[in-house]
């Protein structure tokens, strides 16, 4: 393949690269797709040539999120060639890490997205062919089950084929490491070391030369049973737990596992959103299969109104995230989705109460999540850690008993799963709701009690989706070149630039602004989508005052963004 970004990645060299890829592609769909593009480009079709250039000018980067991108032919897409190279590269890394006296064990899981099962089986065959003990999960399952399996099976690594809540045409390849990493997602330098092995495989050419074997093992349901039992133990239902609630799997894989856990834990089954309960990689009822996106929970709200429910829980498609909604007469349609920070603080106080007095115990959250968690940790005498975004960092916090991220991610059982887990978080929320109901209260009551105890924390997020990722880099560069003196009417007292690391945090493309009124504004690129994100956090004596301050900060943040775009 031509060197990415070189002049050779155009003209005849571009067509040569595409034909070389075509010759090794085992997938008839992507072969047909690429053959049509090559023929069109060779005939002078400028649009086809531009499409090929996008596909072949660079490789889909392997980083701390593994691989994630749109399905399609070429090295800048998710496909069987790229996955085969990734599996062979990861196998080489694991063998190198283990040495000559050990056969590394690797477990592979997959969700309901298009080609997830194909990518998982390809990986299992290549791991087995590469001399690893490969174990394939028995069927499509949530990401937390794979994360659990890495620790439960004492595996050297785990691979989950999923793109989580990304658009329907995406897929991904998420890698976990066992041993000293305790089943957490990869971080630097492992990501770069794995990427180097993957590149070496790609440089050797035809993936048909990669050894394969069908001698991999298939995990039994005993593994899923163990996850069910461990997760049910997070919050067993109190006696006569009477909850009237609604659940949606967002066309994902969460329901089958969650329903078994509900039985084991003693909770009543919900009314499910029937149109979204079965896995469907086309995600036909939502524009984006992400509970945070506008409209994604509309069918759940409609079902809850029809049923007179008191609570809605929603998992994203691979069930590692959880959304919670409650009745709210002031909200449009009478229902309001709680923010990730609201749920995160409720679960944080729950964890802090349980861990109070435990030596070395700590709470952790990403630095863009609510500062309220630190106040909770201090109140209960626990340690606190703010980390870079992502559970690959949160899960590694020393002494962690609970961690969360405002993007609907919660880690409530770190002794079992070292990653966000939307199913165990759902059980924990049901436990809170059932306990509150037992005293004539509800989750809204718990939120008021939290504000009374710790003050009114209010948060918001401004996300800007772009078509060209370079636009995000340009905005970050502009903010660094001319740091703002004010956001709206409020003076900026300090700006922390995490590009080269900061106070023990690893380097990250993050700007954190502290304002004179105690507010905080954080700007960073999304790690999984073409978005720039701005995180707003304020604290007020009352909810009304906090909301007023938050609205002013949001106006100032939008003005700032408009100036630098």
Residue-level pLDDT at 241: 78
What domains can be seen in the chain, in order of their start residue? Answer: 1-58 (no CATH), 64-219 (3.40.120.10), 220-454 (3.40.120.10), 456-564 (3.30.310.50)
Structure tokens at 472: 């995000």
Residue-level pLDDT at 11: 57
Mean pLDDT confidence for 377-390: 95
Q: Between helices 190-204 and 80-98, what is the axis angle to 10°?
A: 120
Query: pLDDT exceeding 70 applies to what percent of the chain?
Result: 98
Cβ atoms within 10 A of the Cβ of 185, count?
27
Q: How far apart are CA 92 and CA 140, in angstroms?
A: 26
Mean pLDDT confidence for 314-343: 96
Query: Looking at 9-18, 85-94, 277-286, which range is the least confident one?
Result: 9-18
Q: How far apart are CA 61 and CA 58, in angstroms?
A: 8
The H-assigned helical ranges of 133-186 are: 143-152
Q: How confident is the model at residue 208 (pLDDT cuts 50, 70, 90)?
A: very high
* pLDDT (tens digit per residue) in 166-183: 999 999 999 999 999 999
Q: Is the pLDDT of residue 318 over 90?
A: yes
Mean pLDDT confidence for 512-522: 95
Mean pLDDT confidence for 473-478: 94
Query: Looking at 23-37, 78-92, 240-254, 497-511, which range is the least confident one?
Result: 497-511
Mean pLDDT confidence for 359-369: 96
Q: Is the pLDDT of residue 138 over 60?
A: yes
Let me know if 164 is a catalytic residue.
yes
Q: How confident is the model at residue 118 (pLDDT cuts 50, 70, 90)?
A: very high
Residue among 418, 373, 371 nearest 394 (CA): 418
Q: Is the pLDDT of residue 3 over 70?
A: no
* H helix or E strand, kind and range, residue 337: strand 335-337
Residue-level pLDDT at 372: 95
Residue-level pLDDT at 528: 67
Residue-level pLDDT at 520: 96
Q: How confident is the model at residue 12 (pLDDT cuts 50, 70, 90)?
A: confident
Report how far apart the first and last C-alpha atoms of the chain are (Å, whole number): 36
Q: Is the pLDDT of residue 7 over 70?
A: no
* pLDDT (tens digit per residue) in 428-439: 999 999 999 999
Mean pLDDT confidence for 391-409: 97
Mean pLDDT confidence for 139-162: 98
Q: How confident is the model at residue 2 (pLDDT cuts 50, 70, 90)?
A: very low
Mean pLDDT confidence for 290-318: 97
Structure tokens at 484: 């703002």
Residue-level pLDDT at 506: 85
Q: Is the pLDDT of residue 10 over 60?
A: no
* pLDDT (tens digit per residue) in 56-111: 999 999 887 799 999 999 999 999 999 999 999 999 999 999 987 799 999 999 99
User: For residues 541 and 337, which has the higher predicted lDDT (pLDDT)?
Assistant: 337
SS3 readout for 45-67: CHHHHHHHHHHHCCCCCCECCEE
pTM: 0.92
Mean pLDDT confidence for 300-325: 98
Calculated CA dihedral for residues 20, 21, 23, 24, nearest 10 degrees: 130
What's the angle, vertex CA 69, arms to CA 66 and CA 72, rounded to 5? Answer: 125
Q: How far apart are CA 123 and CA 125, in angstroms?
A: 5
Query: pLDDT exceeding 90 applies to what percent of the chain?
Result: 88
Residue-level pLDDT at 304: 98
Residue tagged active-site, from 164, 362, 369, 459: 164
């Amino acid at each position: 393949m031509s060197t990415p970004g070189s002049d050779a990645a155009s003209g005849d060299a571009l067509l040569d690269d595409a034909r070389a890829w075509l010759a090794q592609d085992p997938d008839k769909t992507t072969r047909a797709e690429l053959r049509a593009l090559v023929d069109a480009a060779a005939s002078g079709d400028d649009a086809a040539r531009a499409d090929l250039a996008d596909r072949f000018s660079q490789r889909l980067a392997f980083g701390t999120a593994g691989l994630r991108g749109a399905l399609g032919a070429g090295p800048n897409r998710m496909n069987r060639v790229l996955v085969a190279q990734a599996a062979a590269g990861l196998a080489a890394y694991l063998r190198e890490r283990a040495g000559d006296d050990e056969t590394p064990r690797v477990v592979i899981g997959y969700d309901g997205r298009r080609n997830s099962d194909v990518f998982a089986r390809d990986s299992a065959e290549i791991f087995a062919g590469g001399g690893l003990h490969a174990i394939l999960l028995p069927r499509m399952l949530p990401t937390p089950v794979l994360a659990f399996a890495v620790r439960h099976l004492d595996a050297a690594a785990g691979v989950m084929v999923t793109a989580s809540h990304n658009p329907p045409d995406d897929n991904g390849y998420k890698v976990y490491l066992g041993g000293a990493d305790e089943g957490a997602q990869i971080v630097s330098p492992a990501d770069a070391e794995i990427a180097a092995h993957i590149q070496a495989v790609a440089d050797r050419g035809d993936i048909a030369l990669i050894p394969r074997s069908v001698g991999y093992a298939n995990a039994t349901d005993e593994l899923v049973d163990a996850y069910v039992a461990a997760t049910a133990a997070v919050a067993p239902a109190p006696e006569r737990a009477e909850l009237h609630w609604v659940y949606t799997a967002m066309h994902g894989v969460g329901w089958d596992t969650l329903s078994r856990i509900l039985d084991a834990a003693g909770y009543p089954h919900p009314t499910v959103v029937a149109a979204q309960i079965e896995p469907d990689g086309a995600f036909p009822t939502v524009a984006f299969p992400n509970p945070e996106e506008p409209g994604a929970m509309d069918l759940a709200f409609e079902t809850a109104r029809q049923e007179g429910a008191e609570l809605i829980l929603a998992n994203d498609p691979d069930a590692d995230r959880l959304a919670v909604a409650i009745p709210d007469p002031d909200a449009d349609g009478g229902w309001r989705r709680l923010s990730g920070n609201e749920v995160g603080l409720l679960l944080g106080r729950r964890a802090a109460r349980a861990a109070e007095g435990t030596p070395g115990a700590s709470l952790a959250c990403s630095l863009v999540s609510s500062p309220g968690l630190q106040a909770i940790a201090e109140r209960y005498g626990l340690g606190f850690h703010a980390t870079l975004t992502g559970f690959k960092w949160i899960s590694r916090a020393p002494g962690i008993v609970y961690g969360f991220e405002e993007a609907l991610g919660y880690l409530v059982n770190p002794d079992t799963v070292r990653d966000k887990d939307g199913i165990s978080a759902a059980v924990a929320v049901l436990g809170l709701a059932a306990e509150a109901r037992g005293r004539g209260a509800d989750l809204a009551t718990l939120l008021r009690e939290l504000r009374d105890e710790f003050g009114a924390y209010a948060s918001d997020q401004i996300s800007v989706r772009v078509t060209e990722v370079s636009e995000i880099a340009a905005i970050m560069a502009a903010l660094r070149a001319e740091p703002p003196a004010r956001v709206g009417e409020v003076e900026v007292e300090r700006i922390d630039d995490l590009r080269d690391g900061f106070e023990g945090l690893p380097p990250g493309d993050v700007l954190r602004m502290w304002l004179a009124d105690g507010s905080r504004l954080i700007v960073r690129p999304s790690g999984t989508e073409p978005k720039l994100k701005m995180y707003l956090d304020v604290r007020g004596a009352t909810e009304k005052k906090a909301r007023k301050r938050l609205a002013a900060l949001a106006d100032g943040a939008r003005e700032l963004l408009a100036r630098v775009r």
